[in-house]
């Protein structure tokens, strides 16, 4: 009695799948036992449990005096300058790595030196209203080594012709 290859192919794949599945189960059990021992030895939490870290009390904290400034209504073409002041209320030096505005019409300048705990720093922004008619909301993102690494500052107002 001749059996064609077409009849044997499904049986071959089913048998292979069964053997592979059994071996994978054994490997996973052995791997899980090893992982449990490893986690216990290392004092780590197993996967699947959420661990919320305690706040880093030794870090820098950027505390802004005001995070929003409304420049009111101005005439198109005028420039608005504002200084956002902040204090490092943490216990480590605060280092600002970048300050970026949401629009090329707003130019930021910032303290480049590390700000010691208890000291103040500033971010100065200049908004050029040329070609910016209407209500304005510019966002300035301050990136630092603070516990909360991104701080948003807001510049708002309206530009009339």
Confidence of residue 40 (pLDDT cuts 50, 70, 90): very low
66-123 pLDDT tens trace: 999 999 999 999 999 999 999 999 999 999 999 999 989 999 999 889 999 999 999 9
Spatial CB neighbours of 119, under 8 Å, sequence gap ≥ 6 = 87, 88
Confidence of residue 2 (pLDDT cuts 50, 70, 90): low
Query: Could you give the CA distance from residue 60 to residue 89 in angstroms, rounded to a whole number?
Result: 7
Rounded to two decimals, the pTM is 0.62
**How high is the pLDDT of residue 146?**
92
129-146 pLDDT tens trace: 999 999 999 999 999 999
């Amino acid at each position: 009695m001749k059996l064609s290859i077409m009849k044997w192919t499904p049986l071959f794949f089913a048998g292979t799948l069964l053997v592979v599945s059994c071996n994978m189960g054994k490997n996973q059990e052995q791997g899980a036992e090893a992982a449990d021992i490893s986690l216990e030895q290392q004092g780590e939490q197993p996967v699947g449990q959420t661990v919320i870290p305690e706040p880093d009390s030794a870090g820098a904290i950027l505390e802004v005096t005001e995070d929003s400034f409304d420049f009111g209504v101005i005439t198109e073409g005028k420039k608005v300058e504002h200084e956002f002041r902040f204090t490092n209320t943490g216990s480590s030096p605060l280092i600002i790595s970048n300050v970026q505005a949401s629009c090329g019409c707003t130019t930021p300048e910032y303290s480049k030196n590390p700000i010691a705990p208890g000291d103040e720093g500033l971010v100065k922004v200049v908004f050029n209203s040329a070609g910016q008619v209407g209500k304005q909301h510019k966002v300035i993102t301050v990136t630092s080594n603070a516990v909360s690494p991104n701080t948003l500052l807001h510049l708002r107002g309206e530009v009339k012709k």
